[in-house]
Homo-oligomer: A and B are copies of this chain.
Amino acid sequence: MTAAIDEHLRGAVEAILFVVDTPVPAATLAELLDVEEVIVTEQLHALASEYERQHRGFTLRPAGEGWRLYTREEYAEHVERYVTEGQRARLTQAALETLAVVAYRQPVTRSRISAIRGVSVDGVIRTLLSRGLVAEEGSDPQTGGGLYVTTELFLEKLGLSSVSELPDLAPLLPDVESVLSEDSNP
């Protein structure tokens, strides 16, 4: 029976590590999976050496106070090639619109942007962060959610020296003032 339990545990640990963006402490995993921390730690080590042994494309390493999956060094050149050649230089329409919302509403939380755009913006925010066009700066005192602002690079790309140079939205949208003031107080 132990083997089966371990397999489920291993799968669960793997699945969680797969989706997280930051290193996860063993204690967090233990709590989430309702098992002893020592057992989780054991699993993590076992996983890490299994990846080594199977020579997988990724590795599991302790990072900071937790554990995180990384691509294996050995394949870095392929990954780099994908990143360089496979990625679009141009932003998608969704990314551009999200960037526009951040630019005009900054500092703004992800959930606010999501509410304005009517769709989840996690993916695009990540893209904008990795492209250096937005940055996280502080957090919302009420919700604790991270606040996003545009960066110097963003200004540079638009040829502006400050956000205040962005054109006024009002003439573009007769009702925009009421809309903005309205939805700034949700």
Please report A residues at the B interface, Cβ cutoff 8 Å. 7-8, 10-21, 24, 28, 32-33, 55-58, 69, 71-72, 74-76, 78-79, 81-87, 110-111, 114, 118-123, 126-127, 130-131
Given the known A-B contacts A21-B123, A119-B131, are A16 and B74 also in contact in the complex, defined by CB atoms under 8 Å? no
Q: Which 10 A-B pairs have the closest CB atoms?
A: A14-B57, A86-B120, A15-B57, A15-B75, A15-B71, A11-B57, A12-B78, A12-B75, A16-B82, A87-B120
Other A-B pairs, 5, CB within 8 Å; known A15-B71, A19-B83, A20-B86: A11-B75, A16-B82, A32-B78, A85-B114, A86-B114
Given the known A-B contacts A28-B86, A32-B78, A78-B12, are A18 and B119 also in contact in the complex, defined by CB atoms under 8 Å? no
Whether B11 pairs with A74 at a CB distance below 8 angstroms is yes
- Stoichiometry, as copies per complex, reads 2
Given the known A-B contacts A11-B74, A74-B11, are A119 and B57 also in contact in the complex, defined by CB atoms under 8 Å? no
List 18 interface pairs A-B (beta carbons < 8 Å), by A numbering.
A13-B57, A15-B57, A15-B71, A15-B72, A16-B57, A18-B58, A18-B71, A18-B79, A19-B82, A20-B82, A20-B86, A21-B127, A32-B78, A32-B85, A85-B114, A85-B120, A86-B114, A118-B130
